[in-house]
Chain A
Amino acid sequence: MVHEWALAEAIADYLQGLLRREAREGFRRAVIRLGTLQSIDREVLRFSLTEVLKYRGVAVEELVFRDEEAVFRCRRCGATWTLKDLDISDDVREAMHFIPEVIHSYFKCPRCGSRDFEVVRGRGVYVEEVVFK
């Protein structure tokens, strides 16, 4: 089991914290946003999260995963591009899987060559929405 397990534990801890804070007993729904830059394996994450939630006794009736395409914008020249525009080797994809920000080590703006660009969206894992029971 890989990196996704660690992220599943983080999500579970976050959801548990919400339940404590709001004094609730469970969720009807939790929506997890997956930025494509981090190349999270959705099924591995679903399996891991389901297992961790079960172990922790956190009830979530419906787990929804939503992909968010990674989009970049150059701070120097304003060019925008997406992850699909990049030719990514397996090694680099794996490095970005662990730390998405290292994209700055491997890619530059396709128009002006600057590494000073921002990840506008689609970076990694966020809890987007929850519905309490």
Chain B
Amino acid sequence: MERAYGDPRLAVIDRRLAGVKKVLAIMSSKGGVGKTVIASSLAISLSSRGVKVGLLDLDVTNPTAHVVLGIDLNSVRPVEEKGVIPPKVYGVRFMSVAFFSGDNPLPLRGYEVDSVIREVLAVSLWGDVDVLLIDTPPGMSDESLDTLTYLRRPRVVVVTTPSPLSLRSVERLLTLLNEGGEDVAGVIENMSRTTSRNVEEVLRRFGVKFLGSVPYDPDLDRCLGSVDLLKGTEFYRYVERISRKLL
């Protein structure tokens, strides 16, 4: 006899991701740098060019990608068919815990965050997807670590701002990623006003590719919640250019 006490969910994750060609994890250890808007815009941009895209909002306790995309949680729902099929929004297969928690608070301890991620990865049926984008919350906690552990070899896209605080956080994140031998696709500098020498210096030191700057766009907030308005922003045009480097 063997007492297994096993969590079967981990065993099925590779099967669920079998049709996913590439995973791009959008990360930053500093909050407020624009990860979610960049991840959502990258998803829309790639999808507009005919790429089969999935977007998974792994900001488990504070999901907001659906807000960026203007998704009404009451009318857009995942389909239940031998699992959970993420609904298509603007051509993007989209999954978020918000479909289940609504816009209510979802305070979770770390082990519960891990459990939610296991569940989502175990039951989401992505099908054939060229690029699966993972939007992660700030920090180097469960969501980021689970992304690196459960999603075999994701390419990590690091987002920073020119702020010294953000850069210091990025250095810590790049150190962690380097130590783990992770595949870093590069760094995006968001909300830039001029090309930041500090960013260039950090990238040189870590041997990481610079994917591009995205200028601060004072009009962006007004456009969140409408993909049509978002696509008309200067912000989106810059993200679109960067998206070409990620294929």
Instruction: Spell out A's residues near B (CB within 8 Å).
Output: 1-3, 5-7, 9-11, 13-18, 22, 95-96, 98-102, 104-106, 115-116, 118-119, 123-132
Q: How far is the CA of A58 from the CA of B6 in the complex (A)?
A: 17
Besides A10-B122, A13-B15, A95-B102, 5 more A-B contacts (Cβ < 8 Å) are: A95-B101, A104-B105, A104-B112, A125-B9, A126-B7
A18 to chain B, nearest CB (A): 7
Q: Count residues of chain B with CB under 8 A from any CB of chain A.
A: 36
A115 cross-chain contacts in B, Cβ below 8 A: 105, 107
| Closest residue on chain A to residue B107 by CB atoms | A115
Q: Is B1 an interface residue (CB 8 A)?
A: yes
B101 touches A98 (CB 8 A): no
User: A122 CB to closest chain B CB, in angstroms?
Assistant: 13
Provided the pairs A11-B8, A101-B112 are in contact, do residues A106 and B15 lie with their beta carbons within 8 angstroms?
Answer: no
Chain B residues whose C-beta falls within 8 Å of the C-beta of A101 in the assembled complex: 106, 108, 112, 115-116, 119
Contact residues, B122-165 vs A (CB, 8 A): 122-123, 125
Say yes or no for B12: interface residue by CB 8 A criterion. Answer: yes
B105 close to A105 (CB less than 8 A): yes
> A-B pairs with CB below 8 Å: how many?
118
**A6-B82, A99-B97 given as contacts; is B11 within 8 A of A129 (CB)?**
no
Q: What is the distance, in angstroms, from B132's C-beta to the closest C-beta of chain A?
A: 18
Contact A127–B1 (Cβ < 8 Å)? no
A104 touches B12 (CB 8 A): no
Evaluate contact between B8 and A7: CB separation under 8 angstroms.
yes
Q: Is B1 touching A129 in the complex (CB atoms < 8 A)?
A: yes
Residues of the B chain whose Cβ atoms lie less than 8 Å from the Cβ of A7 = 8-9, 122-123
B97 proximity list for chain A (CB < 8 A): 99, 102
Leading 9 A-B pairs by shortest Cβ distance: A6-B83, A14-B8, A10-B12, A105-B104, A13-B11, A14-B11, A105-B101, A5-B82, A10-B8
A16 to chain B, nearest CB (A): 8
| Bound complex: CA A3 to CA B112 (Å) | 20
CA distance A115 to B148 in the complex (A): 29
